[in-house]
Chain A
Amino acid sequence: MKIDKQSGPADGDADGASRITFRLDPASGVPTYLQLVHQVEQALRLGYLARGDQLPRVKDVVGTLAINPNTVLKAYRELEHRGIAAGRPGQGTFVRAEPATVPLAELNGLRKSLLTWLRAADSAGLDTDGMTALFTAALRDFHERRAAAGAPRGAPEQDPGQADRTA
């Protein structure tokens, strides 16, 4: 029985230790499995995780967060779909690739066009809430149209983070 190898939530021993731990934001409205997916992607961007690292084991995640094991499995499947992680039978799930990053120059260009839009919205009389609502609605339309167009679910370009940049 493996359950007691970790004798507490802070399992510092080499066996149970994992590079990252998950946390949940119950108020975010983002489905739990997506929160886990985003946290892995973010950890990769920030360098907490690298290729070859093992993701936290399902049993450890559910033992810390008190969530349904199938939710963790779903998150890990989603990461596999996105090409970020791969399962190794009997061992766990491991990081396979870093998420594609957008070159800094391109990011700056996108930021500039967003600022132009913000100025136009401001002079049209929209306040911050109005801009956020409009952007959120447009982003949702964008996703829905893409989904309706039959883009494969979980394809990297469906990642909301990347959609932001191309919206």
Chain B
Amino acid sequence: MNVIEAARLGRRYRTTWAVRDCTLAIPAGRVAALAGPNGAGKTTLMHMAVGLIAPTEGRVTVLGGRPAGSREALERVAFVAQDVPLYRHLPVADMMRLARVLNAGRWDQSRAERRLAAMDIPLRRKVGKLSGGQQAQVALTIALARRPELLVLDEPLAPLDPLARHEFLAAVMETAAEDGTSVLFSSHVITELERVADYLVVLARGRVQVAGDVEDLVHGHQLLTGPADGVAAIGSRFDVVHAQQGLAQAHLLVRQRTALAQSAQPPDGWQAHPVTLEEIVLAYLREPGASALPGPEPVVIS
């Protein structure tokens, strides 16, 4: 099952396309990262996936073909928006009571209480007086109390200090481990992604530039270092994503054309080095024309 499927999805604001021609299939049971620079269309894509805005063209479904925004989709998806939408003047206890009423029928009160207690969050304090990390934990608690099958988080880490980031990610990972909750989170910071995400979507200028299993992406790319006059020969065997070239020596970040291990062997005179996910993402972002997308497998939209 795919937790999010998009087919030629697009959204236009007046004359500008925020997202265009987006075709995606994110498998279930993954922690998927949606990366890309600011303004790449991450929030627009997420808002369409959770049903907050309608697409201008194309379609998006969640959790095995349920139309985004439909009742059966909304019941199973939890979304935490970028600005952590809480009532800041309410004490935490009242905020939780409100969330409970608004989510009647799908609310795990004991889970919410235990999470807040474990995080040492003072129930009488006003939400606005909590630290940024605590506010994020309250928002996450509300999302998790709905026992979602898909948890969507828009830039959850951006306002948090390093310790709060760690605690927030740990809480999300625990949920993924324990309940098998699928997670999609966006971030313009790519340094932490490799530890956390096992599926990656890179969005640039409204288009999907990279999509795939993190391990496949890391294994499918390497850095080749060799003589600058041999670059052309490399191009016949590998897809060169990004080249850094001096007069004598060149560094090429390349993608294998096939999954066969022997085709990954560099030619004589070239040295191969493994690359990190961060290097791969940066290389693609530097070369907007390059893309690493799954082959033309049919995306099933029921």
Q: Chain A interface (Cβ within 8 Å of chain B)? A: 1-4, 7-8, 24, 32, 58-59, 62-72
Measured CA separation A67–B174 after assembly (Å) = 9
Q: Is the CB of B31 within 8 A of A68?
A: yes
Q: Is the CB of A66 within 8 A of B196?
A: yes
Q: Is the CB of B118 within 8 A of A8?
A: yes
Q: Is the CB of B195 within 8 A of A1?
A: no
Known contacts A62-B170, A63-B174, A68 near B198 by CB under 8 Å: yes
A-chain residues with CB within 8 Å of residue B177 when the two chains form the complex: 58-59, 62-63, 69, 72
A-chain residues with CB within 8 Å of residue B115 when the two chains form the complex: 3-4
* Total count of chain B residues near the partner, CB < 8 A: 25
Q: Which of A1, A2, A69 contacts B176 (CB 8 A)?
A: A69
Q: Is the CB of B31 within 8 A of A1?
A: no
Measured CA separation A69–B31 after assembly (Å) = 9
Measured CA separation A104–B68 after assembly (Å) = 64
Q: Chain B interface (Cβ within 8 Å of chain A)? A: 30-31, 108, 110-111, 114-115, 117-118, 166-167, 169-171, 173-178, 194-198
B-chain residues with CB within 8 Å of residue A70 when the two chains form the complex: 30-31, 198
A-chain residues with CB within 8 Å of residue B175 when the two chains form the complex: 3
> A69's closest neighbor in chain B, by CB?
B177
Measured CA separation A5–B114 after assembly (Å) = 9
Measured CA separation A3–B141 after assembly (Å) = 12
Q: Is the CB of B114 within 8 A of A62?
A: no
**Smallest distance from the beta carbon of A35 to chain B beta carbons, Å?**
11
Known contacts A58-B177, A68-B31, A3 near B114 by CB under 8 Å: yes
Q: Is the CB of A7 within 8 A of B118?
A: yes
**Smallest distance from the beta carbon of A158 to chain B beta carbons, Å?**
15
**Smallest distance from the beta carbon of B195 to chain A beta carbons, Å?**
5
